[in-house]
């Protein structure tokens, strides 16, 4: 059981780091259109590689291991349900990062940098709130 929790925490750390790094990486690629050499494929960028090979597998590991912890502990408390709701919003932010990568790669003139800043703020706020919920485990039923 403890190793599953450790796997969950490691997955969350990698996912959070990648999700916080991706908006800056996407904006940097758009603002500084400098390439050392022409990539072999049209849609080949560092942002796409980080998204595909770091963020998405880490998200899957975090969600699967977190689900196993939830099922094995048999815990159903209001703060956990609220946390899972916030995690679902974080999954939406993950998908939006993928859409921003596609928009940046298409180079169609649509704004990308402001959306990257907004995504970074929203993702960071969600992560902060999730960590606060996990560490404080508030009595949410008292709020209702």
Residue range 106-136, pLDDT digits in tens: 877 788 999 999 999 999 999 999 999 999 9
* CB contact set of 119 (below 8 Å; sequence gap of 6+): 22, 23, 93, 96, 97, 100
Tokens standing for 143?
């709020």
User: Comparing 4-18, 51-65, 70-84, 85-99, which segment has the lowest mean pLDDT?
Assistant: 70-84
* Average pLDDT over every residue of 55-83: 91
Q: Is the Cβ–Cβ distance between 47 and 26 less than 8 Å?
A: yes
Percent of the chain exceeding pLDDT 90 equals: 64
Cα end-to-end distance, the chain, whole Å: 32
Tokens standing for 19?
């999700």
Give, as one character, the DSSP assignment of residue 40.
S
Average pLDDT, the chain: 88
Distance CA 14, CA 105 (A): 24
| Residue 8: domain span | 2-142
Nearest to 20 by CA among 117, 95, 129: 117
76 CA to centre of own chain: 24
Percent of the chain exceeding pLDDT 70 equals: 90
Looking at the structure of the chain, the number of domains it has is 1
H or E segment and range at residue 71:
helix 56-73
**Does residue 88 register a pLDDT over 80?**
yes
2-20 confidence digits (pLDDT tens): 999 999 999 999 999 999 9
């Amino acid at each position: 059981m403890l190793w599953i929790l450790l796997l969950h925490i490691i997955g969350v750390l990698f996912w959070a780091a990648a999700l916080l790094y991706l908006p800056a990486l996407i904006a940097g690629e758009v603002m500084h259109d400098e390439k050392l050499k022409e990539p072999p494929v049209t849609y080949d960028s560092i942002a796409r590689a980080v998204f595909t090979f770091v963020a998405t597998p880490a998200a899957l590991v975090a969600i699967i291991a977190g689900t196993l912890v939830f099922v094995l502990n048999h815990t159903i408390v209001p703060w956990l349900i609220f946390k899972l709701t916030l995690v679902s919003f974080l999954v939406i932010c993950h998908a939006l990062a993928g859409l921003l990568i596609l928009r940046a790669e298409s180079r169609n003139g649509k704004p990308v940098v402001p959306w990257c800043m907004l995504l970074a703020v929203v993702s960071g706020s969600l992560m902060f709130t999730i960590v606060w919920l996990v560490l404080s485990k508030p009595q949410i039923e008292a709020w209702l």
